[in-house]
């Protein structure tokens, strides 16, 4: 039986027919070239997993502990994800802020997300893990390791998943369906030259 992380990885690789760049021996992949967005744009990004050393660095910078389920995600699967050209991003450890090709192979900064980019009415038990790009709404984990979706200005939970894995499976499938439906809608009346 396929693990949930294997299923997530397979969903991320669904666009591999558009190209794959394995930029790290530790499991860093850019999947699905997106030339319509730029010459270096990719649809999906899986960053190399990190060690407990990087976890400790982030916890020291944030002055708080990272949710245990998110530590498992960062150390056993990926140091963050960019899903469908940043439609959904899960944040991770960023070791440099230089803007060159080598340093662009990093996720968005988890420390900044938990120190500076949070909505109102948060509580200390909310650990923020990601963001949607179209409205900048957030995802956070609570002590029961459930994942919550909230508005960008209000941390009230609007939707809940039982785990990070369940959220990723649900959201990747949902976003993929929405994007493919939109592509079909936009292209169905185009006449191809013969």
For residue 8, the enclosing domain spans 4-187
Does residue 193 sit within a domain? no
* Contact yes or no for 15/43 (Cβ under 8 A): yes
Predicted confidence (pLDDT) at residue 97 exceeds the cutoff of 80: no
Q: What is the pLDDT of residues 80-92, one digit of tens each?
A: 999 998 899 999 9
| CATH number (domain holding residue 100) | 3.40.1580.10
* Contact yes or no for 141/127 (Cβ under 8 A): yes
Does residue 192 sit within a domain? no
Does residue 29 sit within a domain? yes
**Tokens coding 180:** 């493919």
Q: What is the pLDDT of residues 167-186, one digit of tens each?
A: 999 999 999 998 876 655 55
**Tokens coding 4:** 């949930």
Does residue 101 sit within a domain? yes
Phi, psi at 29, each rounded to 5°: -135, 135
pLDDT score of 2 = 66
pLDDT score of 50 = 96
Q: What is the mean pLDDT of the chain?
A: 89
Residue 98's pLDDT band (boundaries 50, 70, 90)?
low
Does residue 45 sit within a domain? yes
Give the pairing type, strands 88-90 and 81-83: antiparallel
What is the percent of the chain with per-residue pLDDT over 90, rounded to a whole number? Answer: 68
Does residue 194 sit within a domain? no
Does residue 162 sit within a domain? yes
If we measure between CA atoms, which residue out of 34, 53, 55, 56 comes closest to residue 43?
Answer: 34
Based on its alpha-carbon atoms, the radius of gyration of the chain, rounded to whole angstroms, reads 17
Q: What is the pLDDT of residues 1-56, one digit of tens each?
A: 469 999 999 999 999 999 999 988 778 899 999 887 888 889 999 999 999 999 99
In the chain, how many domains are there? 1
pLDDT score of 99 = 62
| CA distance linking residue 87 with residue 134, whole number of Å | 7
Does residue 65 sit within a domain? yes
């Amino acid at each position: 039986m396929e693990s949930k992380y294997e299923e997530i990885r397979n969903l991320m690789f669904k666009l591999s027919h558009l190209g794959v760049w394995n930029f790290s021996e530790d499991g860093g992949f850019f999947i699905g070239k997106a030339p319509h967005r730029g010459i270096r744009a990719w649809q999906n990004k899986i960053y190399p997993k990190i060690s407990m050393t990087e976890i400790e660095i982030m916890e020291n910078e944030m002055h708080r502990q990272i949710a245990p389920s998110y530590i498992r995600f960062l150390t056993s699967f990926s140091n963050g994800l960019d899903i469908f050209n940043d439609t959904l991003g899960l944040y991770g450890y960023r070791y440099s802020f230089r803007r060159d090709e080598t340093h662009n192979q990093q996720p968005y900064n988890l420390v900044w997300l938990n120190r500076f980019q949070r909505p109102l009415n948060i509580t200390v038990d909310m650990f923020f893990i990601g963001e949607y790009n179209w409205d900048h709404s957030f995802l956070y984990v609570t002590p029961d390791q459930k994942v919550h979706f909230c508005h960008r200005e209000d941390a009230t939970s609007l939707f809940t998943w039982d785990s990070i894995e369940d959220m990723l499976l649900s959201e990747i499938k949902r976003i993929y369906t929405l994007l493919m439906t939109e592509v079909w809608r936009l292209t169905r009346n185009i006449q191809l030259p013969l």
